[in-house]
Chain A
Amino acid sequence: MTAAMHVETDVLVIGSGGAGMYAAIEAAQSGVRVLLADRSLIGRGGATVMAQMTVAVALGSQAPDHWTYHLRDTLEAGRGLCDESLSRLICEEGPDCIRQMDAWGVGWARKDGRIVAAQAPGHDRPRCVYVDFLNTGPAVSKALRAVVNKTSGIRKASDLLVTDLVSDAGEVVGATALHLTSGAPVTIAAKATIVATGGLTRLYRRNSASANMGGDGYALALRAGAPLIDMEFVQFFPIGHLAPRLIGMDPIMWDPFRYKLGGRLLNGDGEEFTSRYGSSEDGAYVLTRDLATFAIIKEVEAGRGSPHGGAYLSFEHCAPAELRAAFGPVIDRLAANAIDLTKMPVEVAPIAHYHMGGVTADARMETEILGLLVAGEAVGGANGANRLSGNAVTEALVFGRRAGRSAAAHAAKMTSQPFRPQAAAAALDLVARDRVASGPNSADMILRLQSIMADDVGPFRTREKLDRAIARIDDLGAELGERPFGDGQRLDMRRIDWFDLRNMLLVARVVALAALRRTESRGAHQREDFPGMVPEWRVNQVARWREGEIEFVSASPAHALAAAQ
């Protein structure tokens, strides 16, 4: 066994996507010491770097706009379940954060000197800014990495997998971690801890985010006593790439194509079909994500899907010069994959994309647990039952900045570290285990969990499917056991999988249980056995961890504004 390392900081930030990096910058600029930890490389492993195009923000640079209009669209998309104080924060502070990113060197696409905006489904006007070509996320990440690097007071820690938060007397006082490239167990003392670990899309077989997003932040917070909200609402992105197989391209790449060029969504017989489900497209991109997902899956079920079980997306009506002007080098990358959009459609199908649920927090990003804050997609409540296109990067920046500021203020008030080694003993014991060679194929277990979630806890749910999923998740839990396996060496993939599965299985169980309880259909949660929204279900479900069991309560949406619509 490798000896444990111990480090101390004022603010620990877990996760270095857009939210985590902005939180670290803001906290350090307030004068406290920051440890920015990521299980992967700093600023490369989260979801932000993979965002291809839109960031929703009421800049009013293209058409007159106001944050209250953006809020109206956000609340409407959320189907009555948004925590409006959080939604308002995104819309009101978004413009300031986007201008700050501009000052930090993100080259938002401009025309005649003004930042241009695309109109995305669910928005009442052009409001979505971007960086060409398909470069929004990488540009935002690069700019934040540069600022992180020149901000004094931020210590960076790549390859540090946080395994548990350390609680003492109802307060979070730090964390335990596994340093992946050395195999060393680590304890971290922190006056404030920000969970900025992103969402849970890795729970699903087909997903659009990075391999790091297995819901670990939700599990960390839940085990530390913080409640989770809206966990049944997983957003599926309707037109994730399905076929032919592509190399070196992100499956959500067709979204920006549709913003710029429209495109036609067709069934296996080559017919437009979305009008059958209540919304006609006419070549424009107006269909919201939940409706488009519904339409494609129903068309496939009716035997009218494309050969690989999705729909066709066609840009065959576009002239080569038009495609080239809109997407430049991306057209060459498609050509290298033998795709000529002027001559063939591609196949698309819904793909797990984002999680509306998350850790409950107030507008300071503080959770119910003292010393524990959250930021970005890890926060629940802002987006209700369905997130509006473009709000994810905005929320990462706004919530990250706010969390960094609040955490620094909290840490500055504390004169000493509340961390005691005894409080970390049990969690450290898990990380510091010796070699356990036997055990199941952990990589295969993750694939099996992804199949269970995709098949039975996907966009369309029934009691039968959810019951089956919960039983299978419990079987996987028994197979995983309570003691980490692995050889205890550097980059011990089986041990990493063990800690990932421990979190993924817990979070998968919460999602399935919340979905089972919600006996209606709303936004991203569709029950085939309970179609339609039910007024009595205009409540949020809140999950808590009590002695190893999950308990739910229902509560009316917080901070509902009287004049929402």
Chain B
Amino acid sequence: MTAVARLRVWRGLAPQAGQFESYEVPFESGQSVLDGLRWIRANHDPTLAIRYSCINANACKECVMEIDGATAYACSARLEPREMIVKPLSNKALVRDLVTEIAPPAERFGT
């Protein structure tokens, strides 16, 4: 019996029109939440929107989201063999799914 992490991931294009989707991710010790989200994209749904560059170095600071109610970097949050709630930041404008507008205003295109 392999252990699984149950990720409840918020999906949607508008804050009032989204819902949680549940995914079971094979659990291996030493994985990050970002590893789990990338596994979901490759194995279940490539439309899941996430934002990251450095993958696991905690250098780019782009994978910031809400994990179990706390603001965290998905690359540095440990995946655990239980249910975990993953949401976009609530204090930033939503772009899609787990991605929010985190670029400083002066660095946004079209503003």
A489 pairs with B75, CB closer than 8 A: no
Known contacts being A41-B103, A247-B32, A490-B95, is A50 close to B109, with CB within 8 Å? Answer: no
State A5–B50 Cα separation when bound (angstroms): 25
Interfacial chain B residues near A157, Cβ < 8 Å: 107-109
Query: Which of chain B's residues have a CB closer than 8 A to the CB of A251?
Result: 56-57
Asked whether, in the complex, the Cβ of B46 is within 8 Å of the Cβ of A497, the reply is yes
**Residue pair B59, A158 in contact (C-beta under 8 Å):** no
Task: Verify B30–A41 contact, CB threshold 8 A.
Answer: no
Q: In the complex, what distance in Å separates the CA atom of A250 from the CA atom of B56?
A: 6
> Is the C-beta of A138 less than 8 angstroms from some C-beta in chain B?
yes
Closest residue of chain A to B106 (Cβ to Cβ) is A156
B interface, by DSSP: helix, strand, loop or mixed?
A: loop
Given the contacts A41-B103, A156-B107, A249-B57, A443 and B32 also touching, CB distance less than 8 Å: no
Scan residues 79-111 of chain B and give those whose CB is less than 8 A from a CB of chain A.
95-97, 99, 101-103, 106-110
| A487 and B59 contact, CB distance less than 8 A | no
Q: Mark B35-55, 1 if CB is under 8 A from A, else 0.
A: 000100111001111111111
Give the size of the chain B interface in residues (CB under 8 angstroms): 44
Residues of B within 8 A of A344 (CB): none
Size category of the binding interface on chain A: 35 or more
Residues on the B chain within 8 Å of A181, using CB: 95, 99, 101, 108
What 0/1 readout, one digit per residue, does chain A (46-89) give for beta carbons within 8 Å of chain B? 10011000000000000000000000000000000000000000
Residue from B53, B95, B110 in contact with A45 in the complex, judged by beta carbons closer than 8 Å: B53
For chains A and B in complex, what number of residue pairs have CB atoms within 8 angstroms? 132
Assess whether B8 is interfacial by the CB under 8 Å rule: no
Q: How far is the CB of B111 from chain A (nearest CB, A)?
A: 10
Min CB–CB distance A310 → chain B (angstroms): 15
Bound-complex Cα distance A246 to B47 (A):
27
A447 vs B28: C-alpha distance when bound (angstroms):
19
Q: Is the CB of B46 within 8 A of A247?
A: no
A50-B57, A212-B53 are known contacts. Are A494 and B46 too (CB-CB below 8 A)? yes
Name, among A49, A247, A250, the residue most crowded by chain B CB atoms within 10 Å (CB to CB). A247
- For the complex of A and B, the 7 pairs showing the least CB-CB separation, nearest first, are A245-B30, A248-B76, A250-B57, A45-B53, A157-B109, A443-B41, A158-B103
Q: List chain B positions with a Cβ less than 8 A from chain A.
A: 13, 28-32, 38, 41-43, 46-62, 73, 75-78, 95-97, 99, 101-103, 106-110
- 25 residue pairs of the A-B complex, CB under 8 angstroms, read A41-B53, A42-B107, A45-B53, A46-B53, A49-B60, A156-B106, A156-B107, A158-B109, A159-B109, A179-B109, A181-B99, A181-B101, A182-B110, A211-B52, A245-B30, A246-B56, A247-B30, A247-B31, A249-B57, A250-B56, A251-B56, A444-B43, A491-B96, A491-B97, A493-B48
